[in-house]
Structure 1
Amino acid sequence: MRPLTEEETKVLFHNPRVQKDKVYYVSEAVMKKATAVKRKDLLSLGTCFGKFSKTGKFRLGITALDYLSQFAKYKVWIKPSGEMSYMYGNHVLKAHLGRITEDTPEHQGVVIYTMNDIPVGFGVTAKSTADCRKLDPTAICVYHQTDIGEYLRDEDTMF
């Protein structure tokens, strides 16, 4: 992925808010209306982008996918035959790789799409674009980070 431009940074980080170690992206209008609710009674506000771990590291959540997919520099498209495998938390194999952005480096964060351009998750490339072309069909091309199947698997702990 590429660094955000100055304008994109202003748009993205205009109203982030933290509550109970979770980072939310909130519009100004919704934020003003939420001041009528007591802080202890407020469960969430806006879109959850991720959360801070106990060690202070930030873990990006799948709920940020729709926002971040708009700004992704590196993308990977998976074939329909590999979609379900990916949704169950498996890595993207060469056999499931439909397309990959040209000149994607190794160990680069990518957004995973279906062949119909629907964003379905995040990952990290195991090999560069050039190296992926030379791999055998069972080799891993993209390491799984998170996917939209997380909504179902982690439903009880997500919010």
Structure 2
Amino acid sequence: MNHKRFINHTPHFKLKDLLSQYALYKVWVKPSAELSFLYGNHILKAGLGRISENTPQYQGVVVFSMSDIPLGFGRVARSTFECRNLEPEAIVCFHQEDIGQYLREEATLI
């Protein structure tokens, strides 16, 4: 199977077009936690900037930087209400996919 025809060789990531405009639930990460998320780590309470109101536990979310750039998506570990009283090292959002994933796996895709 020729994988090259499935690879988009442009440097633009289409998450913003496909998911972010239709997302009901969103999570914003602080600048200090962006790189950690882009390396495949979960988002901790200390790195949480904002979360959509009334987000239920285990709901899928689109993850944004504080400047509204879509970084990836995940699943929240706690509801919006529960996030308010968590300790800083508690996981708030489980990492599922991010824009850095393509770069980390680029060598195996080609």
Please, what TM-score do these two structures have when normalized by structure 2?
0.86
Higher Cα Rg: structure 1 or 2? Answer: 1
Please, what TM-score do these two structures have when normalized by structure 1?
0.61
2:68 match: secondary structure: coil
Could you give the per-residue CA deviations for residues 130-153 of structure 1, whole angstroms, max 9, x where no partner exists? 001110000000000011111211
Structure 2 residue identity aligned to 1:131: E
> Residue 15 of structure 2 is aligned with which of 48, 59, 65?
65
Could you give the per-residue CA deviations for residues 5-39 of structure 1, whole angstroms, max 9, x where no partner exists? xxxxxxxxxxxxxxx6xxxxxxxxxxxxxxxxxxx
> Residue 131 of structure 1 is aligned with which of 76, 82, 87?
82
Change (3 A) 1:149 1:45: closer
Question: How far is the alpha carbon of 1:158 from its aligned partner?
Answer: 3.7
Question: How far is the alpha carbon of 1:44 from its aligned partner?
Answer: 2.0
Larger RCO (alpha carbons 8 Å, 6+ apart): 2
Structure 2 residue identity aligned to 1:77: W
Large movers: runs of 4+ above 6 Å: none
5+ residue gaps, structure 2: none
Structure 2 residue identity aligned to 1:75: K
Change (3 A) 1:153 1:99: same
5+ residue gaps, structure 1: 1-19, 21-39, 48-62
Structure 1 residue identity aligned to 2:5: S
* Alignment RMSD (CA, Å): 2.0
Percent same amino acid at aligned positions?
55
Question: How far is the alpha carbon of 1:45 from its aligned partner?
Answer: 5.8
